[in-house]
Structure 1
């Protein structure tokens, strides 16, 4: 009997040892981790990736971004790599429920400042060296300062839909529900402050989309594909044993822009000041923590 018990115990040890080994192997599979960062001090760029100031007659502020969504991420080997011909690491959900093909907002994924947006096993990506990253932005939500007639300056929450086309049923904005049930084009926005909401549409083509590769690798109008360069390139060797982190650092330097009626640098919707630009103002991909 003792001998049988000893054999049974040995079998159990072997079974649990095998289970433990398999678990360790799965957990050791290295990943590419994409994180987001929003930097108010990062250089402010224009559509061509050149330094830009706020135009005369307009004013701007740097919002505090709470969360963001993208619907496309691509690594490009060179400046001549056309959009779609690099390594596409993420393509978000789309739908034609609103009539035309659009980003499916309800199925989108979101991340805040210094949060992880995406995790992909490295062995699912093409081995190679990459100089650029392209990110098609879809949505950003953040806090801005608004000057009111009765209460002075208050903090409000702004939702900016910057994707090429967006299908929305409804969404929560600072505990207020905004119902749409339709497609909205790039530049649609909604705003909440003190329990009151409003919505509007920025002019077509007004959303800034920095692309330093405009002359060699243009992107379609309205696509919101922001392009940034790795400082020392980025290589996937296929021999990685640890996770690799790439942080997408976006410039929010005066990225919320409006037309000025009262030349005081304050956003005053009650005075008729109109939102003209909500586009992020540059992208720097950073490898490592």
Structure 2
């Protein structure tokens, strides 16, 4: 009998102690997240710098790369078309460094995501309630395969393109392949690229200002030259009340429709760097954001 009373007393004390501290009795509140995913779409409309449909200029040719991964250095939700860059809800800023001199994107500490993969997850509580109609994304890096022609043969090569304003790169290799290894150890401005195919490697720099950066808000909310801040509009806006009970997924669909463009020497629609055909543009061709739960 004494043992039974003692056991009951322990249970009673434990229950009473727990009731005095709500956190030990109640389950932890569920944390709902904002999840940012990337999508690469070769069928999405091809746009120019001011967000209008764009054709391939005479004398040039283009193809849609098969991107394996991308990186962004800045993501911002903007309420209106007149919200200036930086005055919206900034949800992500990537790592930067002055190791190479001027401030630059820190490539070795960047985040990456592939097609239909998650790039960023943050608590929804980090976002101010409101309605956001636009998204701005500063792209930093693209990596994927392109079709190349040379020596009478078609083959596939891997292209890395640095589209951010300035990037500090120590080294670069494609998918862990030592045959694609580049030692850089310096800052590179927008337009730097590196290429590997069949064990052959090369690198170069696209002309300044040649990288297309679609911004439909060109007149009301411009972005700095060389920043690669691509702008896109939510079809029906994105309203966050602060009372959401589920995760919110925002998919950023980037147009890669003929985004790799070069000057033609032999007008056959094939990229032939061996005869002097030059890369002139590797910027993404539009952004469509969408929201789902």
Q: TM-score range by the shorter chain?
A: over 0.9
Q: 1:282 aligns with which of 268, 281, 286?
A: 286
2:201 alignment partner, one of 197, 204, 222:
197
Counterparts of 1:249 and 1:209, CA distance in 2: 15
User: What's the offset of the Cα at 1:194?
Assistant: 1.4
Question: How far, CA to CA, are the matches of 1:100 and 1:43 in structure 2?
Answer: 36
**Offset of residue 177 of structure 1:** 1.4
Distance change in 2, residues 1:9/1:203 (3 Å): same
Structure 1: stretches of 5+ with no match in the other structure: none
The within-5 A match list for 1:95-106 is: 95-106=97-108
Task: Provide the rounded CA distance (Å) in 2 between the counterparts of 1:254 and 1:34.
Answer: 24
Q: For structure 2, which runs of at least 5 residues remain unmatched after alignment?
A: none
Q: Are positions 1:132 and 2:137 aligned together?
A: no
- The alignment covers a number of residue pairs equal to 284
Aligned-partner Cα distance in 1 for 2:115–2:279: 24
From 178, 184, 201, the equivalent of 1:180 is: 184
User: Counterpart in 2 of 1:54?
Assistant: 56
Aligned partner of residue 274 in structure 2, secondary structure: helix
CA distance in 2, matches of 1:248, 1:73: 10
Q: Compute the displacement of 1:155 (Å).
A: 1.0
- CA separation in 1, counterparts of 2:148 and 2:25? 57
TM-score (norm 2): 0.92
SS of equivalent to 1:22: coil
Distance 1:33 1:3, change over 3 A: same
Aligned equivalent of 1:153: 154
Output the CA distance in 2 between the equivalents of 1:38 and 1:32.
20
State whether structure 2 residue 163 is matched by structure 1 residue 162.
yes
Distance 1:20 1:119, change over 3 A: farther
The 2-side partners of 1:10 and 1:192 are apart by 71
| Deviation readout 1:193-213 (Å, 9 max, x if unpaired) | 112211010000000000000
Q: State the alpha-carbon separation in 1 of the partners of residues 144 and 35 from structure 2.
A: 23
What's the CA shift string for 1:68-91, capped at 9, x where partnerless? Answer: 000000011111011101111111
- Structure 1 equivalent of residue 96 of structure 2: 94
**Kindly tell me: are residues 9 and 161 of structure 1, through their superposed partners in 2, closer, same or farther at Cα, counting changes over 3 Å?**
same
How many Å separate the matches in 2 of 1:22 and 1:272?
66
Alignment-derived partner of residue 270 in structure 2: 266
SS at match of 2:125: helix
CA offset at residue 4 of structure 1?
3.9
